[in-house]
């Protein structure tokens, strides 16, 4: 049977909506409650779920159309299963009438149900993720807690396990797809025993008869997280109360409409509200009350006019790194200072004790030593262990000491954090550094592994270079860059001696750290490398 699914009632006095995105095409199979459209009304962006299941025969709207309530959106050819899903009680009743009592008893031996496995809640403010790998295919038998796929968020790679045992009925995604939280990715057929089993034993003749049709249960929702978090069923996602024309105007002049306060009824935002906000923002920029949000993006030229090109989509880690560093660079007034540390004696000690650290499961590196030195320096210079809250005109001083380490991976730059460094010795730090670096390169970091840092170290000494200007990892206020050490002639006691010198680069937030404090901090680190006794004396 072919039926039309029409645009449903959207709210009081709302008769039309703009089609933002069409999520299905002709030939697709849709299920009940599957989101098929995203539309934008005057008040909100709405995800429209289908009320019918079946094969899409025709799509009546396209992106950019203005659709009316009651207008056909898609035409669907319903199957018997779809009708069963829509009206399960009626279907069950008819099927039970059609089956003899013996067949019904046999059917009750096991009940199958199909559950929708949806993308779970992945963390605060994380709305989507990229599928790194799908680990199952249709027909696979799975066990509870078996990993079904690997997701790559902006911050980490997450393994997603199943709570159910059963068979994979359908896989709706593939490697490389970007999926939203709450989106259906698998259909899983599970088997469960009924509460009451038939008492009469089956005869040989009954076993030879055709297997009775077991009524399919309505498709259930399913979410899974290591910490079990339910996904809300709300289909209306409030953005801001503003007409599409007002949103478009805000986008064109570079204003984030979420920050605009509406003066209309119920907080509704008008064009005049956007203009007033823009004027006030410009006044604050000119007076220096706030910093500029960055340069206006210019359109890219058509590079193909000059030769062959290839466009490659950024992975989530690279995209998030680009966004974060752009924000940090445009909002933090950076200053970078340079110095050198004589690590000739330290290098001898490091080699002397390296075997002991290796026996404990770590590796005694300059980075491990610098982590301990940095935590001690933060105690001596508390303004480096802080964050700036410009909205409240406050400085947040932290009483804990967590150090982030920039790790180069094939997916991009990741910054795992070693917690409570002040409470650990260098051997413990070395072991933890080796473990967390391996997790980063194996894409096993969790979101928690990358949160809570106070200060970051970026060591490029293993690659090369003399100096560089690292970008502060907001909301931190400073970052230490380390380059390759080399032997240089140093004038000591009337003669030149070859000394192993390490280049250091310190970038910091000039809103809270003055130049004099910056060089004092950097000199303290250099002297601690040259004379580790300083750690005990002052740190």
Selection from 309, 288, 418 nearest residue 365 by Cα:
418
The number of angstroms, rounded, from the C-alpha of 54 to the middle of its chain's C-alpha atoms is: 33
Active-site annotation holder among 60, 324, 334, 510: 510
C-beta atoms surrounding 2 within 10 Å: 11
Task: Tell me which H or E stretch contains 509.
Answer: strand 495-509
Report the C-alpha gap between 386 and 421 in whole angstroms: 16
Q: Distance between the two ends of the chain, CA-based, in angstroms?
A: 78
Q: State how far the alpha carbon of 310 is from the alpha carbons of 302, 307, 315, 320, in Å.
A: 12, 10, 15, 21
538 Rama class: left (phi>0) / alpha (psi -120 to 50) / beta: alpha
Report the C-alpha gap between 501 and 493 in whole angstroms: 18
Q: State how far the alpha carbon of 379 is from the alpha carbons of 120, 375, 457, 515, 531, in Å.
A: 40, 7, 16, 19, 18
Report the C-alpha gap between 388 and 396 in whole angstroms: 6
27 Rama class: left (phi>0) / alpha (psi -120 to 50) / beta: left
Helix (H/G/I), strand (E/B), else coil: 407: strand
Report the C-alpha gap between 535 and 373 in whole angstroms: 7
8 A C-beta contact, residue 69 and residue 10? yes
Q: What are phi and psi of 117, to 5 degrees?
A: -100, 115
C-beta atoms surrounding 410 within 10 Å: 8
Catalytic status, residue 9: no
8 A C-beta contact, residue 430 and residue 372? no
Enumerate the β-bridge partners of residue 488.
499
Q: What are phi and psi of 130, to 5 degrees?
A: -100, 135
Report the C-alpha gap between 240 and 51 in whole angstroms: 27
Selection from 52, 25, 45, 48 nearest residue 37 by Cα:
48
Selection from 185, 273, 267, 268 nearest residue 221 by Cα:
185
Report the C-alpha gap between 253 and 478 in whole angstroms: 33
Q: Cite the active site residues.
A: 510
């Amino acid at each position: 049977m072919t039926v039309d699914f029409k645009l449903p009632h959207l709210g009081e006095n709302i008769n039309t909506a703009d089609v933002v995105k069409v999520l299905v095409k002709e030939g697709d199979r849709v299920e009940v409650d599957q989101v098929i459209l995203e539309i934008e009304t005057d008040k909100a962006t709405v995800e429209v779920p289908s009320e019918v299941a079946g094969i899409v025969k025709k799509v009546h709207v396209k992106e950019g159309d203005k659709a009316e309530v009651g207008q056909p959106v898609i035409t669907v050819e319903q199957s018997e299963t779809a009708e069963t899903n829509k009206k399960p009680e009626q279907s069950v009743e008819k099927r039970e009438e059609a089956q003899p009592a013996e067949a019904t008893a046999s059917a009750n031996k096991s009940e199958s149900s199909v559950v929708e496995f949806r993308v779970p809640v992945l963390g605060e403010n994380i709305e989507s993720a990229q599928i790194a790998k799908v680990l199952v295919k249709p027909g696979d038998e799975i066990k509870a807690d078996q990993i079904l796929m690997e997701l790559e968020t902006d911050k980490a790679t997450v393994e997603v396990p199943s709570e159910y045992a059963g068979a994979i009925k359908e896989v709706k995604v593939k490697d490389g797809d970007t999926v939203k939280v709450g989106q259906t990715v698998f259909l899983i057929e599970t088997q469960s025993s009924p509460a009451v089993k038939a008492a009469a034993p089956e005869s040989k003749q009954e076993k030879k008869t055709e297997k009775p049709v077991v009524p399919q249960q309505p498709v259930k929702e399913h979410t899974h997280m290591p910490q079990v978090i339910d996904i809300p069923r709300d289909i209306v996602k409030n953005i801001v109360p503003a007409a599409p024309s007002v949103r478009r105007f805000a986008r064109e002049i570079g204003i984030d409409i979420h920050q605009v306060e509406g003066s209309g009824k119920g907080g509704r935002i008008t064009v005049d509200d956007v203009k007033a906000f823009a004027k006030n923002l410009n006044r604050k920029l000119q007076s220096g009350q706030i910093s500029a949000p960055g340069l206006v993006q210019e359109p890219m030229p058509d590079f193909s006019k000059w030769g062959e090109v290839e466009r490659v989509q950024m992975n989530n880690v690279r995209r998030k790194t680009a966004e974060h560093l752009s924000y940090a660079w445009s909002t933090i007034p950076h200053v970078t200072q340079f110095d050198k540390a004589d690590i000739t004696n330290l290098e001898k000690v490091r080699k002397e004790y390296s075997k002991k650290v290796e026996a404990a499961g770590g590796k005694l590196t300059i980075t491990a030593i610098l982590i301990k030195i940095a935590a001690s320096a933060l105690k001596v210079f508390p303004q480096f262990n802080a964050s700036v809250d410009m909205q409240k005109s406050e400085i947040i001083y932290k009483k804990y000491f967590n150090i982030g380490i920039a790790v180069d991976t094939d997916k991009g730059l990741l910054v795992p954090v070693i917690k409570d460094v002040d409470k650990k010795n260098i051997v413990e730090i070395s072991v933890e550094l080796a473990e967390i670096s391996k997790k980063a390169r194996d894409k096993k970091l969790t979101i928690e592994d990358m949160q809570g840092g106070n200060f970051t170290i970026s060591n490029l000494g293993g690659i090369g270079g003399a100096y560089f200007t690292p970008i502060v990892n907001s909301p931190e206020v400073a970052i230490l860059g380390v380059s390759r050490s080399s032997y240089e002639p140093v004038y000591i006691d009337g003669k030149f001696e070859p000394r192993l010198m390490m280049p250091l680069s310190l970038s910091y937030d000039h809103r809270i750290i003055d130049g004099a404090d910056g060089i004092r901090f950097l000199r303290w680190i250099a002297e601690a490398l040259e004379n580790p006794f300083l750690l005990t004396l002052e740190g």
